Structure 1
Amino acid sequence: MATLTHRIARPDDLAVLRPLADAAIAELQRPFLTPEQVAASRALMGIDTLLIDDGTYYVVEADGEIAGCGGWSRRATLYGGDASPGRDPALLDPARDAARVRAMYTHPDHVRKGVGRRILSVCEAAAASEGFRTAELMATKAGEPLYRACGYEPVEDVVDDRGGAPVPLVLMRKALAAPGP
């Protein structure tokens, strides 16, 4: 089993992260979506470079190779990448708003190896350290089992058709543990 490490993503990682996200969307969504829905997912999802600028986006490496990425946000946008419609960069209030877990992708060669769990735990700890008491995310059908296993509860089924075909998603939420002393 590969040794997993994580670090904050850098702008120069984008040359690897964008194709990784594309591969994850294309391969991991295929059992759940039609080809038209997978194509539409590309318009709705992707890397949001604002997370990299904010220092809240991470890469997980398996023996030095980038195996996955994901982050969290203190901003209002719930999901989507740089090209996604409807982004909102407004800052959230940790006392009343949920942190957003965003843009999680695992390379198809590294699924079920702890990459997604690592990203979630790092994101949750960082958001809690900034005072957020809950986290929300918009789950794909492929990602929903991981999020459920990590304690996220479904809140609402959503269909997003802004990409040209209806893509089923699930809004999920989890209470965050208070940071330790």
Structure 2
Amino acid sequence: MQVRPANPEDTESMMHLHVASIHAFGPETYTDEQVEAWATLPDGAPGYPIGEPGEYYVVAERDDGLAGFGHLTDDGEGYGTDAAVEAVYVGPDHAGRGVGSAILAHLEGYARASGHESLGLWASLNAVPFYEASGWERVAERDHETSGAVLTVVEMRRDLGGARTEL
């Protein structure tokens, strides 16, 4: 598996994987109506601002194609942190095979190398155990409105220790 920076040609595949992941894993903790609202991506592929300042996207690839993607933003203001992990999504056929962990580790390494000392995120309820196993701490439960539905999410935080490392 390879984790690499995303490019604009990846957006269509990322969008399809995003929706497939929500449909596969969302029903573990949310109602059908909540899952459908969450899976509604009104901006479509243009909703992934790859290459925009302050936005960093990566994709994980396996021999059989796109396995997952992640998104880090330099704007952690809403989390009280230096930066935020906005997304880690793994395709249903790749779950449990280390894809999410590789993406998250890459995003954290990039954040450290960029001088960030802390990261925040809002995790869907089904993803909380994944983040906790990766060293993230719960801060609070929040309500997140998406396409007219409200989902309970967990705000989480990770201290990066201030040590700069190179990718």
- Bigger fraction of residues in helix: 2
Q: How big is the shift at 1:180? A: 3.8
Shift of 1:162: 4.4
Aligned match of 1:42: 39
TM-score (norm 2): 0.86
Q: Distance in 1 between matches of 2:6 and 2:126?
A: 24
The CA deviation at 1:78 is 6.0
Is 1:40–1:167's contact at 8 Å kept on the other side of the alignment? Answer: no
Q: Relative to 1, partners in 2 of residues 1:50 and 1:75: Cα closer, same or farther, differing over 3 Å?
A: farther
Number of equivalences: 162
Share of identical aligned residues, percent?
Answer: 32
- The residue aligned with 1:154 is 138
1:129 aligns with 2:126: no
- TM-score by length of structure 1 reads 0.80
The runs of at least 4 consecutive aligned structure 1 residues that moved more than 4 Å come to 43-48, 76-79
Matched, 1:5 2:5: no
Q: Which structure shows the higher strand fraction?
A: 2
* Counterpart selection for 1:17 from 14, 18, 34: 14
Contact 2:112 2:165 survives alignment (8 Å): no
CA shift at 1:44, angstroms?
A: 7.7
CA offsets, 1:131-151, max 9 Å, x none? Answer: 111111110012111100000
Unaligned runs of 5+ in 2: none
| Counterpart-to-counterpart distance in 1, 2:112 and 2:97 | 25
Equivalent residue for 1:101, pick from 85, 90, 93:
85
1:73 alignment partner in structure 2: 73
Instruction: Report what 2:164 is aligned to.
Output: 179
Counterpart in the other structure of 1:86: none
Distance 1:58 1:66, change over 3 A: same
